[in-house]
Amino acid sequence: MKQKMMHKEMRELLQEQTPLLSQEALLGFVDSFLARREEFLAPLTRQRTPLYLFEPEVLSERSCRFQEVFRAHFDAVRFYYAVKSNNYPEVSRVLIQTGFGLDVSSGLELSMALELGAEDIIFSGPGKTKEELEMAVQNSERLIVLVDSFNELATLGRIAASCQKMVRIGVRLTTNPQGLWRKFGILPEELMRFWKRTQEFPNLLFQGLQFHTSWNLSAEAQLSFIRTLSGVLSKLPAQFLGQIAFIDVGGGYWPEQGEWLQPAGTPTGIVRKALGVGSGRNRKHFCLPACSIELFARQLGEALKRQILPLVPSCCFCFEPGRWICNDAMHLLMSVVDKKGNDLIITDAGTNAVGWERFETDYFPVLNLSRPAAKENDCHILGALCTPHDVWGYNYWGEDIQIGDVLMIPTQGAYTYSLRQNFIKPVPEVFAIQALTGISASEREPVCEQQGNVQN
């Protein structure tokens, strides 16, 4: 019986249709970068590949757009950049300058935020160590601690009392009590017990709540939890509600181009791989569509005003974008170092530059900047690491491909740089493309250079 059910589920997955990526959208994306090829190649007069290209102006534009669309729907709102999505210090510096606070989730990230001069920090994440909490207490005037558990609350309360410091706190709420996401926060139904426990620690000032859902192609998961939270808050006493100064809605907003997939990244491809029959043609690209940030803001604004604000009318709403903000602000450059056939080349960059086997399942166009053309050719684009999983893609955009050609993979700003690792090959350097000066990241202030070398 169990085997029949498994076979049924496999058949259903094989029949599931993942939408194809629009050829028009793909060509528009490719053309927008090929049109700037000289700009992307210019750093190679100073630097060698592999190389991260960082665009501060793109980052600033994304920051301003995010803030503008959310401010249109909220009277009181604050923004925090999720540092884990890209921990290159210059990313955080630019976002601080454009009005963001920082959302950090480790002592390492907190140290960087403090060195950058951030004055508005949220310290989140599970399993905070005693040393990390001590650092938070010593800098309590610059941050809010989002407490993750009852044990963490007690430890923080003792440290704050021993240092005679007042510490502002919130609590993270679990959005999914099943599976691995249950590691984060406390259950919503434990809010009353948590609030009563905070009163045992006079040096802790309870001010708010945080919840987070991830991989949001739409606002559906966030809207669902807002309904849950409204039901919980409606049953809590006025004294509790009167202390809620903020509700942090978290992040997880997906860039509006959607999630682009190789055949192997689709449900059908996963089943085919498990059955050992291959994932199909690699020239076919797929896309899970995502809604615009304007739609996110409107839907969240309507839901929070209708379901939360009547209960906590003086509440400020906080948002923690990461991927949406930094995704488009970094690109990867690499060079072809070997051609083993018309359909197989080796580059000087290994996937240690991004830290995971991203491109076996995720699709990003590989652009040949040396021989540009708006056509895609079949070819295994592989790295120089001593592992078969060192894959950049199965096609390239260009007229031809030869040893010495410079390739670019655009929009690699999110969950790549932060995950890079010294595995076999060194990690790429970063070059910041400046509109006027073209100053490389290595020529900036010494503090940035030192922090940029910190490994996750």
Examine the pLDDT at 134 and tell me if it is beyond 80: yes
Span 311-355, pLDDT tens digits: 999 999 999 999 999 999 999 999 999 999 999 999 999 999 999
Q: How many whole angstroms separate alpha carbon 122 and alpha carbon 110?
A: 9
Q: Which two tokens mark 433?
A: 């493309």
Q: Token match 């849950």: residue?
A: 228
Among the ranges given (166-180, 219-233, 433-447), the one the predictor scored with the smallest mean pLDDT: 433-447
223 falls within a domain: yes
Nearest Cα residue to 168 out of 316, 38, 6, 26: 316
Round to whole Å and give the CA distance between 159 and 165: 9
Confidence band of 272 (pLDDT split at 50, 70, 90): confident
Q: Does some domain include residue 38?
A: yes
Question: Rounded to whole angstroms, what are the CA distances from 245 to 10, 170, 356?
Answer: 48, 10, 39
CATH of the domain at 49: 2.40.37.10
Which runs of consecutive H residues, i.e. helices, occur in 141-284? Answer: 150-163, 191-198, 220-233, 238-242, 267-274
Q: Do residue 439 and residue 359 come from a single domain? A: yes
Phi and psi, residue 130, nearest 5°:
-60, -40
- Both 358 and 321 in one domain: the answer is no
Is there a domain that residue 9 lies in? Answer: no
**E strand or H helix that includes residue 34:** helix 23-34
297 inside domain: yes
Give the C-alpha distances (Å, rounded to integers) separating 399 from 128, 369, 415: 52, 10, 31
Residue 275 within any structural domain of the chain: no
- Helix (H), strand (E) counts: the chain: 15, 18
Are residue 33 and residue 92 in the same domain, yes or no?
no
Q: What is the DSSP string of 246-287?
A: EEE----BPPTT-EEE-GGGSHHHHHHHHTTS----TT--EE
- Per residue in 290-303, pLDDT (tens digit) is 999 999 999 999 99
Are 360 and 386 part of one and the same domain? yes
- Counting residues of the chain whose pLDDT is more than 90, the rounded percentage is 86
One domain for residues 96 and 150: yes
Give the DSSP letter of residue 22. Answer: P
Query: What residues form DSSP beta bridges with 319?
Result: 79
Number of domains in the chain: 2
Residues 312, 335 within the same domain: no
Buried b (16+ CB within 10 A) or exposed e, 408-425: bbbbbbbbbbbbbbebeb
Rounded CA-CA distance 146/136 in Å is: 11
Task: Tell me the per-residue pLDDT of 418-438, one tens digit each, with 9 for 90 and over.
Answer: 999 999 999 999 999 975 333
Q: Is residue 280 part of a domain?
A: no
pLDDT tens for each residue of 275-285: 777 655 567 89
Contacts (Cβ under 8 Å, ≥6 apart) of 239: none
**pTM for the structure as a whole:** 0.91
Instruction: Tell me the residue range of the domain where 304 lies.
Output: 57-262+290-325
> 77 by DSSP, 3-state: which?
strand
In a domain, residue 11? The reply is: no
